[in-house]
Chain A
Amino acid sequence: MIRISAAWQLPATRLAVLWAIFAISWGAPTLWAQNSPDTGVNFIRTVDMVSAIVEDDTGQIIFSGKSGVVGTLSDAGAGMVARIFRTDVKDDFLVIEKVANDIVLLGSSKGDIYTYQKGDVKKIASLSAYSEPILDIDSHADLIWASGGRGLLATSTNGGGDWTGVEIGTVIQPELTLPSRQPGVWYLGVSNIDSESVVFNAQINGRPAVIDEDFELDVDEGRLTVFNQLDQGAASISFRFQPGPPYRGGDVTWSAVIADAGVVTLAGEFGLILQSTDQGKQWVRRDGVITREEPAQSYWLCGASRNGKIILGGAAGKIHLSSDSGLTWEPLPIDSQEGVFGVDFIDDDTPIVAGAVGLLGIYRGGSWAMADRTVLGLRSWGKNMLQLTGG
């Protein structure tokens, strides 16, 4: 048994009363005392914890981390007592998730799925032929989704025992409106466009725009060049595309998968937010925009949903919120350039985020209230925010 010697809690605000937020750090200051096998003397040791959940029946936290680390944290009054279970696994456990029937799944850095049950860890499936990491797992009812590096996406309906790979062929880009009638170059924010699927709805001098004469589309790079001024009225474009970098369709890291009733949301590289309502057969791109400048695309790192609201957190302080189950999105700008590694809701609809350099914020009244990292002594990155039993 080892005893945790450092943890932090928010100060005594309403937030702390309602939630005991335990931001499990990824990095240095998670300190542990352990007996030295050489001398029997206690010393401090660091363990990295990458993902965590709360176990409903016991209220204790189950965490996972690098080099096959799986353990529990339980409240011992004055502090928390940690226990690490011995496993033979050398890979990193990047995600731990509770799915239906109280099954706890672990996703590894080599694309393997493990189950956890009372300290026992067992490998049950492999999702990637190329050992791509599993970055997120989510479920709704019996349908479990797992996403990861280089297009890894799979579903399971039997508690993680069997998985079916989900190939995202082409994605539907709903109609995008051009912001201006002026000629020039427009960036569509995606690559690998299926040229057969392109519908450019614009008039020039009272006639439909003609390709090569009035406009040109670089389908590989996703660049639309309009040669002539467009007529009054909305001009729009729709198409299908393969997500990924030019010429490498499908090569996208899906950092977050959010499973809700009847819809699944995927977010990851290239600022892509995709949704499917038919269990992955057909995908639609959300939050698409057309820009004059080559877009600085977001890199989504995490996501969460609650009561029809979805929040995504990304690199360099990017946060987007949807209040209509992902159909439309609004940015929630935060005064930080740090990566957002964890997002969630409190009070059912209040966003809360954690991230690099001790970033911790709550969105109230249309702005972010940031925790003072120096005052709180946050010396590492926060990622997982958990509601402990008893509020």
Chain B
Amino acid sequence: MNGANNHHKMSMRLANLMIDHKFITMLLILIPSLVLGYALPRIEVYSRFADLLPQQHEYIKNYNRMKETFGGANVVTMSIEATEGDIFTTKTLKKIRMLTEEVDVIQGINHYQVASIAHPKIRRVRTTSSGLIKSEPVLPKVIPESERELKRLREEVFSNDIVYGTYVSTDGAAALILAGFDEERLDYSKIFKRLTELKEEIEADGETLLYITGEPMLKGWIYHHSSELKEIFAVTLGIIVLLLLLHFRSFAGVFIPLLGTGMSAVWGLGLVGWLGYNIDPLILVVPILISARTASHCVQIMERYQDALREGASKDAAVRTTMGELMVPASIAIFTDAAGLMVLAVSSVPIIAKLGIFCAFWSLSNLFTVVILVPLLLLLLPQPVVDQAKSSHLPSKLMSKMANFIVSPISTVPVLATVAVILIGGAYFAKDAEVGESTPGSPILFQDSEYNVAAQRINEKFAGSNQLSIYFESEQAHRMKDPEVLMVMQEFAKHMAGHETFGGTREIPGLVRSVNRLYHFDDPRWSIIPPTQRDVGNILFMYEAGAAVPGVILEYMDLEGKVANVVVFFKDATGATVTAAIARATEFLAAHPLDGVTYQFAGGIIGTTAAGNQEVQRSELLQTILIMVVVMLAVFFTYRSATAAALVFVVLAIAVLVNRAYMGMRGIGLNINTLPVTAVGIGVGVDYAIYVMDRVREEVRDKSLIDAIRAMLTTTGSAVLFTAVTVVGGIAYWIPGSVLRFNSEMAMLLSLLMISNMIGAITLLPWLIKVFKPKFVMREHREDVQP
């Protein structure tokens, strides 16, 4: 008696026990369902900027510590652009003022992070002939109306270092407005709505355009498009119902998979409610995928049940056979699904960790809501009328032909050639897959989306809205005023300018030079760093004391002079730029140590993205390996076979390759949003492989290997084909239907994964079993039967 037989007998005994006490069993499932379902109303779908950051990453720890002083990275960037001429018209200047004032009253705004030429803190400082320093707002209180005054203002702005190229584009055609928001829970819909209203108001006369980018606006767009989810969900459900109906042609065939999927969702989402998690709209595709996989488990059970009925079994016997036969493979498949998802929980990115925890639980719930509940429900429902021949089903017809092909000697060349094409093609495209964003703007939206057009336009007009903050930190007060430290900051800024997407810097040396010049009657030669710490301190004090609003120095350093914020602007935040920026900064600072000063990486959108990318890079490798190891170990211990684990590895490896190849081909960066989707997607194929291997083992008991493979392909293979079609059918509408590029691309990616896994499971896997005749399969074979 071998181990696998023991498993079989145990699962049969367990199935019989539960079927014999079906109402108690159902009650035991119903109670937790009710408890979990109670928390469903607590679920909230919203996004939190901090959830996207790897909180254990050194950069984020530093960023979190520093953002209290220097502000966060959750910033909206707006550009008012004149459709003709420049912004120096009374009407346009009034619009700039109006917009600046209006964004300053949006809920969640950080008032210290609002800036534009119309904001009182952005000044024009000049000296009179008698040496009096006059600090005035760049935009006068009374906006000029005469041509002469407007021309004068234009010239002043063009010669103002603080404003030129930063808040007004170098051609004078656009003005920049910055607005920082808090990072805790924000009503992004409200922010988006208000900004959209302002955009309409500003563009109403056709004389100006308003471009808006930044994380809060991106979130706003995602929320805005979330309304499409209802439509997509409805279409998805409709497609699945239609496919189930066409396949099973019975009420039970539709009702049971939907009920199983629904119950499973209650468990998964119920846990979300109890744990107080939020659901980010961007990861909704993952629960959809889990639901699709739940449905596929249900279909496997339904298929097996109908096969048993077709073989002449009674309803009760068919349910017992189905439950007993599928308990092991379904449990392994579900366990591996859940384990793969649980791997995500090791991430330090809260959104991924939360996703891993509740999705693993959701997936694990299938053991109860599918493996146990579905057979019991079948027992309660009337016995369906099944097509005895089954050959009338399209999947069966196709799989019958496939079976004949796979078991024939001529299959070797086509199967190996296909695998070779996938491996070579996959490797070719996979090399282009990169960590981080691959294009400027947001990959979540299409390139021609309003948001990405705005991002592109703003980057064309201004120095760059993507900031990298490097913090210089010392225990010693006033150390940041030391000329020695300033010199390193200055050289650092020069060094960073060597990158092609460099846009500019904001650092203490630049400020000191600027203020020093102003206090020497604007003489350009006095744009120098004074030789002593005391002189530098005096200049910074004068800057702070002379400002219209308190705290202007906090853009540069803390009040004690212990920490400085050196900001480098870049034109985009693509993976390549982020990596190069961090590498350049690291290289320079490592070569220029300062006594008593530590260099802390990194804030701004570049710094936080770098942390995210590094975490993704680390997690991606770790998670892929962990998922593979967990899955292979589960298969190894179940079948006590290294060959079984190796076969699963082949399927998984192909899935990983296809995944990477598609991302490389489509230019989809691996980031915090795409990582969980790809991680979940990789494990999809395992289900099919396990069902296929288990069915061959089952069939080979009484048949030759060739016949067992043929039988598997026409039964389980048919179910695999159908479930893959069902899942793909369920998510395929996202591809053309979603306005969000992210959802569309992820749906495409997952569809490809499903199809490639399905093809691998019904072609390569049976071919490998046929060729290698693995022991874990053949030991089930009865000796009295022709092998």
A interface residue numbers (CB < 8 A to B):
26-29, 36-39, 41-43, 45, 48, 50, 66-67, 90, 92, 94-95, 109-110, 130-133, 135, 253, 255, 296-299, 301, 314-318, 337, 339, 341, 356-358, 373-374, 378-381, 383
- Check A380/B521 contact, CB under 8 A, given A38-B584, A41-B500: no
B130 touches A296 (CB 8 A): yes
- Check A315/B524 contact, CB under 8 A, given A36-B498, A67-B490, A379-B158: no
CB distance from A162 to the nearest CB of B (A): 23
In angstroms, Cα B257 to Cα A125, docked, is: 89
A94 touches B528 (CB 8 A): yes
B131 touches A297 (CB 8 A): yes
- Check A28/B129 contact, CB under 8 A, given A130-B531, A131-B531, A315-B521: no
The yes or no answer to B588 lying at the interface (CB within 8 A) is no
A356 touches B159 (CB 8 A): yes
Q: Which 3 A-B pairs have the closest CB atoms?
A: A316-B129, A296-B130, A315-B521
In angstroms, Cα B631 to Cα A197, docked, is: 101
In angstroms, Cα B523 to Cα A26, docked, is: 10
Within 8 A of A (CB), among B498-533: 498-502, 520-529, 531
12 intermolecular pairs with C-beta atoms under 8 Å apart: A27-B161, A28-B164, A36-B498, A50-B525, A92-B528, A299-B127, A315-B131, A317-B129, A356-B159, A357-B158, A379-B158, A379-B170
The yes or no answer to B752 lying at the interface (CB within 8 A) is no
- Check A38/B520 contact, CB under 8 A, given A28-B170, A66-B527, A133-B528: no
A380 touches B159 (CB 8 A): yes
B165 touches A374 (CB 8 A): no
- Return chain B residues, CB-CB under 8 Å to A374: 151, 154-155
Contact pick for A299, options B131, B159, B161, B529, CB 8 Å: B131
B502 touches A43 (CB 8 A): yes
Chain B interfacial residues counted at CB < 8 A: 39
- Check A298/B129 contact, CB under 8 A, given A38-B584, A315-B522: yes
B494 touches A297 (CB 8 A): no
B interface residue numbers (CB < 8 A to A):
126-131, 151, 154-156, 158-159, 161, 164-165, 170, 487, 490-491, 494, 497-502, 520-529, 531, 580, 584
A301 touches B494 (CB 8 A): no
CB distance from B245 to the nearest CB of A (A): 56
B524 touches A253 (CB 8 A): no
B499 touches A38 (CB 8 A): yes
Contact pick for A27, options B128, B159, B520, CB 8 Å: B159
Q: Which residue of A lies closest to B483 (CB)?
A: A131
A135 touches B531 (CB 8 A): no
In angstroms, Cα B499 to Cα A39, docked, is: 8
Q: Which residue of B lies closest to A27 (CB)?
A: B161
Interchain Cβ contacts within 8 Å, total number: 115
Q: Which residue of A lies closest to B131 (CB)?
A: A299
In angstroms, Cα B494 to Cα A90, docked, is: 11
- Return chain B residues, CB-CB under 8 Å to A42: 500
- Return chain B residues, CB-CB under 8 Å to A299: 127, 129, 131, 521
- Check A67/B170 contact, CB under 8 A, given A36-B499, A296-B130: no
Q: Which residue of A lies closest to B159 (CB)?
A: A357
In angstroms, Cα B500 to Cα A68, docked, is: 23
In angstroms, Cα B118 to Cα A350, docked, is: 41
Contact pick for A358, options B158, B526, B529, CB 8 Å: B158
In angstroms, Cα B523 to Cα A77, docked, is: 33
Q: Which residue of B lies closest to A299 (CB)?
A: B521
A253 touches B520 (CB 8 A): yes
Given contacts A50-B524, A110-B531, A133-B525, 20 further A-B contacts (CB under 8 A): A26-B524, A36-B498, A39-B500, A42-B500, A43-B500, A48-B527, A66-B527, A67-B490, A67-B494, A132-B531, A255-B523, A299-B129, A301-B523, A315-B127, A315-B521, A316-B521, A337-B128, A339-B523, A379-B159, A380-B158
CB distance from B502 to the nearest CB of A (A): 7
In angstroms, Cα B64 to Cα A190, docked, is: 55
In angstroms, Cα B531 to Cα A93, docked, is: 15
B170 touches A45 (CB 8 A): no
- Return chain A residues, CB-CB under 8 Å to B161: 27-28
Q: Which residue of B lies closest to A341 (CB)?
A: B524
A358 touches B128 (CB 8 A): no
- Return chain B residues, CB-CB under 8 Å to A92: 527-528
Q: Which residue of B lies closest to A108 (CB)?
A: B528
- Return chain A residues, CB-CB under 8 Å to B165: 28
A95 touches B129 (CB 8 A): no
- Return chain B residues, CB-CB under 8 Å to A357: 155-156, 158-159
- Return chain B residues, CB-CB under 8 Å to A95: 525
A341 touches B487 (CB 8 A): no
- Return chain A residues, CB-CB under 8 Å to B130: 296-297
Residue among A50, A90, A339, A380 having the largest count of chain B Cβ atoms under 10 Å: A339
Contact pick for A36, options B128, B129, B500, CB 8 Å: B500
- Return chain A residues, CB-CB under 8 Å to B159: 27, 356-358, 379-381
Q: Which residue of A lies closest to B499 (CB)?
A: A38
A314 touches B129 (CB 8 A): yes
B498 touches A358 (CB 8 A): no
- Return chain B residues, CB-CB under 8 Å to A130: 531
In angstroms, Cα B155 to Cα A357, docked, is: 6
- Check A45/B497 contact, CB under 8 A, given A94-B528, A130-B531: yes
In angstroms, Cα B131 to Cα A185, docked, is: 22
In angstroms, Cα B521 to Cα A299, docked, is: 7
In angstroms, Cα B491 to Cα A357, docked, is: 28
A94 touches B525 (CB 8 A): yes
Q: Which residue of B lies closest to A109 (CB)?
A: B528
- Check A358/B155 contact, CB under 8 A, given A50-B524, A339-B521, A379-B164: yes
CB distance from B443 to the nearest CB of A (A): 21
In angstroms, Cα B529 to Cα A314, docked, is: 22
In angstroms, Cα B521 to Cα A90, docked, is: 24
Residue among B154, B525, B527 having the largest count of chain A Cβ atoms under 10 Å: B525
B531 touches A383 (CB 8 A): no
- Return chain B residues, CB-CB under 8 Å to A378: 158
- Return chain A residues, CB-CB under 8 Å to B154: 374
- Return chain B residues, CB-CB under 8 Å to A298: 129
In angstroms, Cα B460 to Cα A289, docked, is: 54
In angstroms, Cα B128 to Cα A296, docked, is: 9
In angstroms, Cα B126 to Cα A296, docked, is: 16
- Return chain A residues, CB-CB under 8 Å to B500: 36, 38-39, 41-43
A381 touches B524 (CB 8 A): yes
In angstroms, Cα B129 to Cα A298, docked, is: 6
In angstroms, Cα B487 to Cα A185, docked, is: 49
- Return chain A residues, CB-CB under 8 Å to B580: 38-39
In angstroms, Cα B158 to Cα A380, docked, is: 7
CB distance from A353 to the nearest CB of B (A): 14
- Return chain A residues, CB-CB under 8 Å to B522: 315, 339, 356
Residue among A50, A92, A255, A299 having the largest count of chain B Cβ atoms under 10 Å: A299
- Return chain A residues, CB-CB under 8 Å to B528: 92, 94, 109, 133
- Return chain A residues, CB-CB under 8 Å to B487: 90
Residue among B155, B521, B524 having the largest count of chain A Cβ atoms under 10 Å: B524
Q: Which residue of B lies closest to A295 (CB)?
A: B130
In angstroms, Cα B525 to Cα A133, docked, is: 9
In angstroms, Cα B528 to Cα A339, docked, is: 18
In angstroms, Cα B521 to Cα A341, docked, is: 10
In angstroms, Cα B48 to Cα A70, docked, is: 50
Contact pick for A135, options B170, B494, B525, CB 8 Å: B525
- Check A38/B498 contact, CB under 8 A, given A50-B525, A130-B531: yes
CB distance from B146 to the nearest CB of A (A): 14
CB distance from B773 to the nearest CB of A (A): 54
Contact pick for A373, options B155, B497, B520, CB 8 Å: B155
- Return chain A residues, CB-CB under 8 Å to B499: 36, 38
